[in-house]
């Protein structure tokens, strides 16, 4: 088939030339195709070459006028009506169409091939206007010549979504019954066990730790120690396991966090080492971290903490990032999370999560929308992060004994998108030993022969501080509403040590 015009050297016009010609030939062979493929499915804008754009448009005009057969007489009438004789002659007159009709008589089965090729190259030309010549660059993963239109569309949608906030949820599908044998081998070798909570075997076993692709929420009333708990159980665990962590903080500054780091490391990992100082220095008084003028013993402890941190992290100073966020908003939060996720900080601590300031919406509805964003960012099919958020419980629930999602107030719908929801409070006076509602704690103690356990039961003395941890949602196991008991911690705020002491069934329920 002779070329009707000097071809543009541009490959996105040259390569689809045969498919455009043959597609036009099929339409002239069977004008009813114009009915099956109306303007919204195929129009002249999809054709890159001017001659086939002309012939396709002329054929649609004649079909819309009632033509059933596109022969030489019908075409000439249309040319005269449209006064396009110059283009008609320029693009080869009827002889070109006659040749195409003859050539495509037995090519009806190839219609989808030509149709998809024409639309594919139309898409490529449009994409090039947005992304430049990257659209025709070929590498190991991207080859526009081998890819079909859907593969190309998905590829560039993904590239665009890396820079824009996605507004539509993509449709994903998997064959549930496919690859079951391989799946068994995969889960056998690759555990879904997440990062363990530091020195909290019971909580880790109950929740399966903190795996990627999940969001966890810890609530507590104002000043109840949420940050202290998160620091010991989460931040120290990241240091222990050399896991990169980004801390997004909007209440405490970097100086306060560094002080808490020293207090926590000295109070937990170096506790045994420092026992020799107990008699002469009575440990490290937490208040002194603010006063300065350290004694020689205190300085030795502080530098021992640095030595421990350096040993655990191999002196990697950038393992834990601290990002103060004074302008706490949904957009800013997303920007920061994406920034650090793309730099391989896949564990995020948000301390403290709170509703984006918005005068036009109810505060709690905004809070739920904020958590929808956090959940979507963390999902395995998105950034695949593990995010732990602390949040303040609603003050009106401070008199509730048995905590659950209700203490999030009107934002309780947050629970719908959270994988693990925990709530903490200090023990009430009446729950200590000899109190009106004293709590009995139990724990399992392996026997000496290793073939069983005995149960140790005890009450909680008043000379120590205890906290209760409730679990109202747990995708990896039980919750307090499905049989899980309440976890009990002994707290030493001077050293920021949170020690599990056992479980209790004794907390009175408010509902």
Residue at 124 is within a domain: yes
**Strand (E) positions, 21-76?**
none
Rounded CA separation 64/38 (Å): 10
Rounded CA separation 449/447 (Å): 6
Rounded CA separation 483/204 (Å): 17
Provide the 3-class DSSP secondary structure of residue 312.
helix
Peptide bond into 500 cis (omega under 30): no
User: Strand pairing partners for 392?
Assistant: 220
Among 161, 193, 221, which residue terminates a domain? Answer: 161
Shared domain for 71 and 209, answered yes or no, is no
DSSP string, 350-398: EET--PPP-TTS-HHHHHHHHHHHHHHHHSTTTT--EEEEEEEPPGGGT
Residue at 380 is within a domain: yes
- Identify the burial level of 211 via C-beta atoms within 10 angstroms of its C-beta, where 0-12 means exposed, 13-18 middle and 19 or more buried: buried
Rounded CA separation 28/34 (Å): 9
Shared domain for 372 and 473, answered yes or no, is yes
Shared domain for 304 and 386, answered yes or no, is yes
CATH assignment of the domain containing 73: 1.10.860
Shared domain for 27 and 137, answered yes or no, is yes
Confidence at residue 179, expressed as pLDDT on a 0 to 100 scale: 77
Shared domain for 145 and 239, answered yes or no, is no
Nearest Cα residue to 410 out of 467, 362, 376? 362
Among 112, 131, 161, which residue terminates a domain? Answer: 161
User: Strand pairing partners for 446?
Assistant: 453
- Residues 246/347, Cβ–Cβ less than 8 Å: yes
Among 161, 177, 212, which residue terminates a domain? Answer: 161
Rounded CA separation 164/278 (Å): 57
Residue at 82 is within a domain: yes
- H/E segment holding residue 473: strand 465-474
Strand-pair category, 347-351 with 386-392: parallel
Mean pLDDT, the chain cut into blocks of 10 residues (511 residues total): 56 91 94 90 92 94 90 92 92 92 89 93 91 85 89 83 51 66 70 83 93 94 92 94 93 90 84 52 72 84 88 91 88 91 94 76 80 93 94 89 85 84 96 95 84 89 96 92 95 92 92 65
Rounded CA separation 47/55 (Å): 10
Confidence at residue 411, expressed as pLDDT on a 0 to 100 scale: 64
Confidence at residue 195, expressed as pLDDT on a 0 to 100 scale: 92
Sheet holding 245-249, edge to edge: 320-324, 245-249, 347-351, 386-392, 214-220, 420-426, 465-474, 486-492, 497-504, 440-446, 453-459
Residue at 171 is within a domain: no
Shared domain for 212 and 323, answered yes or no, is yes
Residue at 488 is within a domain: yes
CA dihedral 205, 207, 211, 214 (to 10 degrees): 180
Confidence at residue 396, expressed as pLDDT on a 0 to 100 scale: 86
Shared domain for 389 and 327, answered yes or no, is yes
pTM above 0.85, yes or no: no
Q: Where are the alpha helices (DSSP H) in 132-270?
A: 149-161, 180-189, 201-207, 226-230, 236-240, 254-267
Q: What φ, ψ does residue 490 adopt, rounded to 5°?
A: -95, 130
Shared domain for 94 and 228, answered yes or no, is no
Number of domains within the chain: 2
Rounded CA separation 476/196 (Å): 13
Shared domain for 413 and 293, answered yes or no, is yes
Confidence at residue 194, expressed as pLDDT on a 0 to 100 scale: 86
Strand-pair category, 214-220 with 320-324: unpaired
- Residues 493/228, Cβ–Cβ less than 8 Å: yes
Domain span including residue 336: 201-504
Rounded CA separation 71/119 (Å): 27
Residue at 377 is within a domain: yes
Residue at 143 is within a domain: yes
Confidence at residue 197, expressed as pLDDT on a 0 to 100 scale: 93
Rounded CA separation 120/115 (Å): 9
Rounded CA separation 272/382 (Å): 43
Shared domain for 271 and 217, answered yes or no, is yes
CATH assignment of the domain containing 206: 3.40.50.300
Shared domain for 212 and 84, answered yes or no, is no
Nearest Cα residue to 248 out of 341, 175, 163? 341
Rounded CA separation 366/358 (Å): 7
How far from 400 is each of 351, 404, 406, 468, CA to CA, in Å? 24, 9, 10, 13
Residue at 425 is within a domain: yes
- Residues 321/200, Cβ–Cβ less than 8 Å: no
User: From the CA atom positions of the chain, what is the Rg in Å?
Assistant: 34
Shared domain for 362 and 416, answered yes or no, is yes
């Amino acid at each position: 088939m002779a070329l009707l015009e000097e071809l543009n050297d541009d490959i996105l016009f040259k390569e689809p030339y045969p498919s455009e010609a043959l597609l036009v030939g099929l339409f002239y062979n069977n004008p009813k195709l114009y009915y099956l493929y109306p303007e919204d499915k195929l129009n002249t804008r999809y054709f890159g070459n001017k001659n086939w754009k002309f012939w396709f448009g002329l054929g649609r005009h004649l079909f819309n006028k009632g033509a059933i057969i596109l022969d030489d007489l019908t075409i000439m009438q249309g040319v005269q009506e449209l006064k396009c004789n110059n283009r008609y002659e320029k693009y080869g007159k009827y002889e070109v169409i006659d040749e195409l009709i003859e050539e495509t008589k037995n090519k009806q089965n190839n219609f989808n091939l030509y149709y998809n090729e024409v639309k594919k190259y139309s898409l490529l030309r449009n994409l090039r206007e947005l992304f430049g010549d990257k659209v025709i660059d070929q590498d190991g993963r991207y080859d526009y010549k081998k890819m079909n239109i859907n593969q190309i569309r998905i590829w560039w949608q993904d590239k665009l979504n890396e820079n824009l906030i996605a507004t539509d949820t993509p449709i994903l599908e998997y064959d549930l019954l496919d690859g079951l044998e391989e799946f068994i081998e995969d889960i056998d070798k690759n555990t879904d066990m997440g990062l363990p909570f530091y020195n909290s075997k019971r909580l880790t076993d109950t929740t399966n730790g903190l795996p990627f692709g999940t969001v966890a929420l810890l609530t507590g009333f104002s000043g109840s120690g949420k940050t202290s708990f998160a620091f010991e159980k989460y931040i120290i665990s990241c240091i222990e396991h050399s896991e990169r962590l980004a801390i997004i903080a909007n209440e405490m500054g970097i100086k306060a966090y560094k002080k808490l780091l020293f207090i926590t490391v000295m109070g937990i990992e170096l506790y045994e080492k420092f026992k020799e100082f107990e008699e002469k220095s009575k440990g490290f008084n937490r208040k002194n971290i603010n006063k300065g003028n350290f004694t020689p013993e205190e300085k030795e402890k502080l530098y021992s903490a640095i030595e421990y941190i350096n040993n655990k992290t191999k002196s990697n100073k950038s393992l834990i990032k601290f990002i103060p966020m004074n302008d706490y908003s949904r957009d800013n939060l997303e920007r920061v999370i994406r920034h650090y996720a793309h730099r391989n900080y896949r564990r995020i601590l948000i301390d403290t999560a709170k509703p984006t300031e918005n005068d036009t919406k109810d505060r709690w509805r905004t809070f739920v929308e904020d958590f929808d964003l956090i959940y979507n960012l963390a999902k395995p099919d998105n950034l695949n992060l593990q995010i732990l958020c602390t949040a303040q419980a609603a003050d009106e629930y401070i008199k509730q004994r048995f905590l659950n999602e209700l203490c999030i107030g009107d934002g309780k719908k947050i629970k719908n998108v959270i994988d693990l929801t925990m709530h903490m409070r200090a023990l009430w006076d009446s729950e200590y030993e000899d109190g009106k509602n004293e709590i009995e704690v139990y724990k399992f103690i392996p026997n000496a022969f290793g073939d069983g356990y005995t149960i140790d039961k005890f009450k909680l003395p008043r000379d120590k501080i205890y906290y209760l941890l409730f679990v109202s949602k747990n995708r990896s196991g039980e919750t307090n509403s499905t049989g899980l008991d309440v976890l009990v911690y002994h707290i030493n705020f001077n050293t920021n040590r949170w020690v599990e002491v056992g479980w209790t069934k004794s907390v009175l329920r408010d509902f």
